[in-house]
A and B are shown apart, each in its own frame.
Chain A
């Protein structure tokens, strides 16, 4: 019962968006921390391109056990604007713009899943 891998894709994207939201939260919380570098998650296209072969983690202490960030790479963002004398690279406005982007994509994602789900229920019921 997988006509399109839409549910799988939607799940991946919502996980990615959640990780991005938590990265933005870290950046905003540390907006006044000296020496902090802003982070961002790798673009979603890259996640789709990557056919990652990961090690099987059989114990919690194993390296490569992706317990944090759901397996998405979080990297320091290259500083676009002016760096503060405190060596902090967070720009609050940019972070809020990114947060808006996340919100919009998440809304779109859940709306599509909802529509698809109601289509399937329609098929089952008729």
Chain B
């Protein structure tokens, strides 16, 4: 395969991986207040995503793919909310271990990487059309 097409393919895999990451971030943010339903039950546990590179044998490029979506094992913060249905006998509720600031930072980084991949796709397309232009406009 042509190296420029390989570049397009690799950058597209990067776009896919980063959008998957954004999906995980949005799941975490949406469930930042999801407590359990029974007294003393565990709330939503934060999800984490990791990537791994995979050698594409046809082109020699390193694609990126999602290696796993795991759960964050850190402890749940506890809040005093006697009115909540998940409150234990003393009135304490386990809240999800989602830190909104961390998720925001993660979102910005995903955004930045997505933009960089998009830039590569645009440029590879420009290079291809430059080559095609060699055959154009020459009577």
Contact = CB atoms under 8 A, between A and B. Distances in A.
A45 B91 CA distance: 73
Q: Is the interface of B mostly helix, strand, loop or mixed?
A: helix
Interface stretch (B26-34, B93-101, B115-123): B115-123
A34 B17 CA distance: 14
Interface string B115-138: 011011001101100110110001
* Interface size bracket, A side: 35 or more
Given A25-B7, A118-B138, A103 B123 contact: yes
Interface string B1-19: 0111011101101100110
Interface in B62-118: 62-64, 109, 112-113, 116-117
Interface residues of B, number: 42
Contacts of A28: 11, 14, 113, 116-117, 120
* Chain A residues touching B, majority SS: helix
Given A28-B120, A32-B109, A36-B53, A103 B126 contact: yes
Interface in B26-46: none
B59 to A, nearest CB: 6
A30 interface: yes
B108 to A, nearest CB: 12
A25 B130 CA distance: 18
Contact of B53 (A22, A33, A107): A33
Interface of B: 2-4, 6-8, 10-11, 13-14, 17-18, 21, 50-53, 57-64, 109, 112-113, 116-117, 119-120, 123-124, 126-127, 130-131, 133-134, 138-139
